[in-house]
Amino acid sequence: MIVKPALRTGNVQEYYFSQKLAQIDRMRSDGYDVINLGIGSPDQPPSENTVSALITEAKKATSHGYQSYSGIPALRKAFSVWYNKYFHVNLNPDNEILLLMGSKEGIMHISMAFVNPGDEVLVPDPGYPTYSSVTYLVGGIVRKYELTEENGWLPDLKSLEKSDLSKVKLMWVNYPQMPTGAIGSLDLFEKLVAFSRKHEILLVNDNPYSFILNKEHLSLLSVEGAKETALELNSLSKSHNMAGWRIGMVAGQSDYIKTVLKVKSNMDSGMFLPMQMAAIEALNNQDSWYDTVNSVYLRRRKIVEQIMDLLKCSYNKSQVGLFVWGKIPENIPDCESYIEEILMKSLVFITPGFIFGKQGERYIRISLCATEEKLNEAKNRIISLSLNN
């Protein structure tokens, strides 16, 4: 290599799943039928009216030009109505909602908009790895705060307050939580808002899982005064089976949204209009559509719980979201080796918890994004593996 990479690239690694998917692709090309239970990519389709709206709009000659950086007013209005209906939060569609190409993009935009080099960022452990990698890329300092099973995977704010928080600029939270499936509460959100206001920290809740096997739709922005100190990310990826469409949003006080827009408007040229029109249809889905999607996930989760039982893992049946999170038996010395052994001997890939942080080292995560047929096949392979051992 003649030209050296930027120093910031030395602080991050290739995304774990990028490497693992490449390994699985190589195994499949060699003839091995690997069942991938690692990725949370919904395999059910969006609603029919969503797809129909995309097709109808895409056929129009006027639909193919550049679009507004903020998203069309009709889509921002649809997000506003959706938030009011399900989260009981009033958002001004004109200046409190910014359309994103997925909430992962929002993590980068928010970090670039608010985090200076040397600023500290509170990141959950276990938690979504992108919170840390993006912090490193913008020159921030990752400061992990531990979540434990004993504490219900909730932050210990009293412990945090005993530490020096003077350099903390931003705090990531994620409820319903990934990877643990823990549910937040209004009480938790009230405490988080009070904590962030007291210490002048921008609080951001990443909220894409609230519709998956969960009836308690809760937004951080429902707390009184939250908009003064908080933002919330959401997307259609999980809730509406539209992961590949890359449609999300960030909501909050208009001044915060304007600051994020300064970054975003220099990085893209707006979202394809037919996708925005289709997203409006998706946000208008009836409750019965969500119920149908979740009935499929519920049947799948029963099979995944059986796999967890076969592996002698302990897990909380009240967790929500696209995964089941379980603790491996004490007699298993190393989770990474254990997962690799399962992959090589049974051709079933399961996510090891260590990729989400130190607190996940004794855990595994199994996705619900596979058909019942595939899940049963994975279960039978693991039964065979157990018998052979």
| Span 338-356, pLDDT tens digits | 999 999 999 999 999 999 9
Judge contact between 338 and 313, C-beta under 8 A. no
pLDDT at res. 352:
94
pLDDT at res. 57:
98
Beta bridge partner(s), residue 365: 325, 351
- Determine the straight-line distance between the first and last CA of the chain, rounded to whole angstroms: 47
- Could you tell me the pTM of the whole model? 0.95
> With helix as H, strand as E and coil as C, how does the chain read?
CCCCCCHHHHHCCCCHHHHHHHHHHHHHHCCCCCEECCCCCCCCCCCHHHHHHHHHHHCCHHHCCCCCCCCCHHHHHHHHHHHHHHHCCCCCCCCCEEEECCHHHHHHHHHHHHCCCCCEEEEEECCCHHHHHHHHHCCCEEEEEECCHHHCCCCCHHHHHCCCCCCEEEEEECCCCCCCCCCCCHHHHHHHHHHHHHHCCEEEEECCCCCCCCCCCCCHHHCCCHHHCEEEEEECCCCCCCHHHCCEEEEECHHHHHHHHHHHCCCCCCCCHHHHHHHHHHHCCCHHHHHHHHHHHHHHHHHHHHHHHHCCCEECCCCCCCEEEEECCCCCCCHHHHHHHHHHHHCEECEEHHHHCHHHCCEEEEECCCCHHHHHHHHHHHHHHHHHC
Give the separation between CA 332 and CA 354, rounded to whole angstroms. 14
Q: Which residues contact 347 (CB under 8 A, 6 or more apart)?
A: 27, 32, 33, 34, 35, 381
pLDDT at res. 17:
72
Q: Residue 90 above 80 pLDDT?
A: yes
Pick 9 or 232 by higher pLDDT.
Answer: 232
- Of 226, 234, 267, whose CA–CA distance to 108 is shortest? 267
Q: Which residues contact 198 (CB under 8 A, 6 or more apart)?
A: none
What mean pLDDT comes out for the span 176-201? 98
> With helix as H, strand as E and coil as C, how does 92-147 read?
CCCCCEEEECCHHHHHHHHHHHHCCCCCEEEEEECCCHHHHHHHHHCCCEEEEEEC
- Banded pLDDT at 18 (limits 50, 70, 90): confident
Q: Residue 1 above 90 pLDDT?
A: no
pLDDT at res. 384:
86
Percent of the chain at pLDDT > 70 equals 98
Which domains are delineated in the chain? Answer: 7-45+288-388 (3.90.1150.10), 48-283 (3.40.640.10)
C-alpha distances out from residue 225 to 122, 187, 222, 325, Å: 21, 14, 9, 33
Judge contact between 263 and 112, C-beta under 8 A. yes
The model's pLDDT over 103-132, given as tens digits with 9 standing for 90+, comes to 999 999 999 999 999 999 999 999 999 999
pLDDT at res. 8:
84
Q: Residue 267 is encoded by which pair of tokens?
A: 């990085």
Q: Residue 383 above 70 pLDDT?
A: yes
The model's pLDDT over 72-88, given as tens digits with 9 standing for 90+, comes to 999 999 999 999 999 99
Instruction: Name the residue type at position 388.
Output: N
Q: Which residues contact 75 (CB under 8 A, 6 or more apart)?
A: 99, 276, 277, 279, 280
What mean pLDDT comes out for the span 202-227? 97
What mean pLDDT comes out for the span 161-179? 97
Whole-number mean pLDDT of the chain?
Answer: 95
Q: Residue 22 above 90 pLDDT?
A: no
Q: Residue 101 above 60 pLDDT?
A: yes
Q: Counting Cβ atoms within 10 Å, is residue 29 exposed (0-12), middle (13-18) or buried (19+)?
A: exposed
pLDDT at res. 279:
98
Q: Residue 389 above 60 pLDDT?
A: no
Judge contact between 115 and 140, C-beta under 8 A. yes
Beta bridge partner(s), residue 173: 205
- Banded pLDDT at 386 (limits 50, 70, 90): low
- Banded pLDDT at 2 (limits 50, 70, 90): confident
Give the count of beta carbons closer than 10 Å to the beta carbon of residue 23: 13
Q: Residue 359 is encoded by which pair of tokens?
A: 């607190």
- Banded pLDDT at 385 (limits 50, 70, 90): confident
